Amino acid sequence: MTICRILSYLFHPLFMPFTGTVAYFLLSPTYIPYELQKKVFFPIFILTVLIPIALYWLLKHLGWVDSHELKSVKERRIPLYASIIIMYVISLYIAPSKFSPALHYFFTGITGTLFLCLLLVIFKVKASFHMMGIMGVAAFIFGFSIHFQTNTAPALAALAIIAGVIAVSRLYLRAHTLREIVIGALIGAIPQIVIFCFIL
């Protein structure tokens, strides 16, 4: 059980947008100056990791959430609203399409995933945030490899293994049912796939 909890922390969905950003710069076939990378890296890290952590502690202090896993459907609303705003700001100002269409639409896809998750919350349906995160990154890299015709097989294989481990860990911890795992995986991957198929 301890290992499962460690894995849940290591591959927390909070880190997935930044992970996708790092993957983009590592795999991109075009040269991007380091100074330009820093202008994207640090704001994205602050907006997708530090600010959500600060928001969580505020909500916990106010008694609006019980744990970082947001176990109840009700607890998920405010973090989802905040995340949608953050992703919108990133896609519009930090990773606009003129800088990189692929990275821009990665965050657009994340916004789509969050909207779908919010819709589920309205109907009191719970889905796995962990699976949304890892499958969103995997679908992004898969679409990236097809669009840019680059070999990302090792990265995709690693992500497939990680996704499987996360799914088993969440089930073992009884944090989610199999249905919630599958729903999370689907709404994490589908927006990214749609974007690469019809936009890029």
Along the 200 residues of the chain, how does pLDDT read in single tens digits?
A: 567 677 677 778 888 999 999 999 888 877 778 888 888 989 999 999 999 999 989 888 888 777 666 667 778 888 899 999 999 999 999 999 888 888 999 999 999 999 999 999 888 888 999 999 999 999 999 988 888 888 888 889 999 999 998 998 888 888 789 999 999 999 999 999 998 887 66
Q: Show me where the domains of the chain are located.
A: 2-198
How much is the pLDDT for 9?
Answer: 74
pTM of the model: 0.89
How much is the pLDDT for 42?
Answer: 92
How many other CB atoms are found less than 10 A from the CB of residue 48? Answer: 24
What phi, psi does 112 have (nearest 5°)?
-60, -45
Question: Is there a contact between 137 and 110 (Cβ–Cβ < 8 Å)?
Answer: no
How much is the pLDDT for 200?
Answer: 63
Query: What distance, in Å, lies between the first and last C-alpha atoms of the chain?
Result: 42
